[in-house]
Amino acid sequence: MNCKTLLAPLLFCSVLALSACDSSNTSDETAKKGTSILDGQATMVLPEGYVRMPQELLEKKYPASQRPKEAWYVESENGKVSIAFSVTKNVMSEAQIQQFAGMMKNQMKAFSPSISDVTVNGKKMSRLEITTPAADGKIFNVMQLSSLDGKLLISSFNVTEDLKDKYTQAGKDALSTLDY
């Protein structure tokens, strides 16, 4: 048998094995870059334990008129903690976000919302924090409003009142990593 014939597969297997070992910071790099969202239009560093919400749960949890394009949730909490993304058809520039957030605050004044302006990865955004009633208690919402490709993007963190202290900071931190 030819020595080259034996060496070629051996060399190939060695390279393959070494490349598999060279995942030096793959998970760290993913954590820094974030999870691809909205069909690759953006990324966000999601907290540990979040998984993409299956379509059937998305349909059950959100009425058709308010259903987000995509949502991620803490599976172990049975849908009580989630981060959702909705790209609306509304034309919205970055310069209009603050004014739009003010209008939303006025519309929801019965729930005493608070509003803040933030800059995330160089983009100006507004956050609306509000607690709303639900069938089985109250839900704390942080809606981050921004402009993505000239359209209104609503990125929202939601958590039931009983889990608010446990998950809110991580949810806000995740919103602060939105990048597009």
The alpha carbon dihedral of 122, 94, 164, 56 has a sign of negative
Asked if the 35-175 domain carries CATH number 3.40.1000.10, the reply is yes
Q: Report pLDDT digits (tens) over 35-50.
A: 999 999 999 999 999 9
**Identity of the residue numbered 4:** K
pLDDT of residue 19: 32
User: What is the residue-averaged pLDDT of the chain?
Assistant: 86
Confirm if 163 and 80 have CB atoms less than 8 A apart.
Answer: yes
The model carries a pTM of 0.80
pLDDT of residue 32: 60
pLDDT of residue 136: 81
Q: How many CA atoms lie within 13 A of 106 on its CB side?
A: 6
In tens digits, the chain (180 residues) has pLDDT values of 444 443 333 333 333 333 333 333 334 444 567 999 999 999 999 999 999 999 999 999 888 888 999 999 999 998 899 999 999 999 999 999 999 999 999 999 999 999 999 999 999 999 999 999 988 899 999 999 999 999 999 999 999 999 999 999 999 999 999 999
DSSP state, 179?
B
- What does the H/E/C string look like for 12-58? HHHHHHHHHHCCCCHHHHHHHHCEEECCCCEEECCCCCEEECCHHHH
Q: How many CA atoms lie within 13 A of 157 on its CB side?
A: 24
C-alpha 131 chain-centroid distance: 20
C-beta neighbour count of 120 within 10 angstroms = 18
Distances (CA, A) of 130 to 8, 117, 134, 171: 64, 15, 13, 14
